[in-house]
Amino acid sequence: MKTVHAICEEVRSGVTTCEAEVNRLLDEVKGNAHLNAFLEVWAEEALQEARRIDAKVKAGTAGRLAGAVLGLKDNICVQNHRVSASSRILEGFVSQYAATVVERLLAEDAILLGRLSCDEFAMGSSNENSAYGPVRNPIDPERVPGGSSGGSAAAVAAGLVHAALGTDTGGSIRQPASFTGTVGLKPTYGRVSRHGIIAYGSSFDQVGPITHTVADAALLLELMAGADAYDTTASKRAVAPYSQHLHLSGKRRFAVLKECIESPGLNPAVKASVERVIDLLRQQGHEVSFVEFPYLKYLVPTYYVLTTAEASSNLGRYSGVHYGYRSPHATDLESTYKQSRSKGFGTEVKRRIMLGTFVLSAGYYDAYYAKGQKVRRVIRDHTNSLFESFDAILTPTTPGPAFKFGQKGADPIQMYLEDIFTVQANICGIPAISVPCGKTEEGLPMGVQLMTKAFEEEQLLALAHHLETLLATAS
């Protein structure tokens, strides 16, 4: 598998060309069609871009991503291209503008290969909720790749692209990264613009990369991050040269959440892999302490109360009136709304819209939504208090490795609990990363998660790179 850094160096040095690499990857996509990772491949456009960038390479004017071929989760807009959030409700919709992250990567001569499948409107933990069929895990096609950015993770893990973009509302980058043995980064809320991203939970959503290495994640974040006039929630803080500051000097203090490690639902292999990480860090002289986090059981309920409320509001615009799917059986305005939304949305999306509408309804708003916001503040305050004594929080990324198709879909609660270790970062708005930390006896990847204070991506990436190196040396 070629990393972004490796392919860009090969193109710069003349070992290969952008056009040759795009052709190679198009063959890989055809050979792995059974994974169902791509909803649409922009083959001719990618080849045209490759030839244009090859000319820039020869002229010495190419950007930092010349040679890198990327895939985009199907909720990230590209001008004059279809985008559907893997939902029938947006069938045939063509975006009139590009997401800010897309424009910034294109400005550095990245090549976009196509749209990658995801759980419908980014709602899911397995990629079984796409209206266009499930994505398969390239490690074991009988298992899920994780969600909601499952297509992005599967494409990177299978070597169909050098890296991919996903979105993370409650773990939707980190969980599939853990399931596929890739690196998944969720930046601080506001570190990366959300302009041009189809919204699920507006106060939780964040764009991030899925890559083979921490160094690649650092480079992509460096190029995407920063203020944006189109997104008032995007921070105006200066963006550090993350890719140049990956060397870790000195010792660090890690907090391991005791409730996570002692959770009865934690897979023994995952627990053993995290304990191995702890041992490796201690051998390097780092301080690793077990701390209490009494709010673990409140994380998932708080997350789903608040995100479903935001989803209910955000998805109200998909009515069948202005764009997207419109039921042919509609006879008036009311039936247009009912028929189009009933047929256009999938089961999980409708479930979350109804939950969100309920928690926002008169008589229940204070009991659920308002209380959820108060609990969110308590969780955020307690998490931030840990950073007064520690540099990072360490947990498993997921309770277990990738599960088989259909194993958890019948019980929504069981599926929601897949997010138990990842939602904390979104609730608090802090950055988090999943790094591969080993495999089960069946060869299934597992991930370890690191979290730091808001806007401390520089330290987070250096810690993750350090851990990645330790694990590579120890294996």
Are 447 and 376 within 8 A, CB to CB?
Answer: no
Are 198 and 83 within 8 A, CB to CB?
Answer: yes
Q: Which two tokens stand for residue 287?
A: 């301080």
Q: Could you confirm whether 73 is annotated as catalytic? A: yes
Residues 247, 416: Cα–Cα separation, whole Å: 36
265 phi, psi to nearest 5 deg: -90, 0
Q: Could you confirm whether 172 is annotated as catalytic? A: yes
Question: Of 73, 186, 271, 408, which is the active-site residue?
Answer: 73
Residues with Cβ within 8 Å of 249's Cβ and at least 6 positions away in sequence, in order, are none
154 phi, psi to nearest 5 deg: -65, -40
Are 38 and 117 within 8 A, CB to CB?
Answer: yes
Question: Of 148, 193, 235, 263, which is the active-site residue?
Answer: 148
394 phi, psi to nearest 5 deg: -120, 130
Residues 101, 116: Cα–Cα separation, whole Å: 16
* CA-based nearest residue to 84, from 36, 45, 41, 120: 120
User: What is the side-by-side order of every strand in the sheet holding 253-257?
Assistant: 38-41, 111-116, 69-73, 163-167, 207-211, 183-186, 432-439, 445-451, 392-396, 253-257, 287-291
Q: Which two tokens stand for residue 445?
A: 């990847």
Q: b/e map of 1-36 (b: 16 or more CB within 10 Å)?
A: ebbbbbbbebbeeeeebbbebbeebbeebeebeebb
Q: Which two tokens stand for residue 459?
A: 């330290």
Residues 318, 336: Cα–Cα separation, whole Å: 11
Question: Of 172, 273, 319, 434, which is the active-site residue?
Answer: 172
251 phi, psi to nearest 5 deg: -100, 155
Residues 122, 170: Cα–Cα separation, whole Å: 10
Active site residues: 73, 148, 172
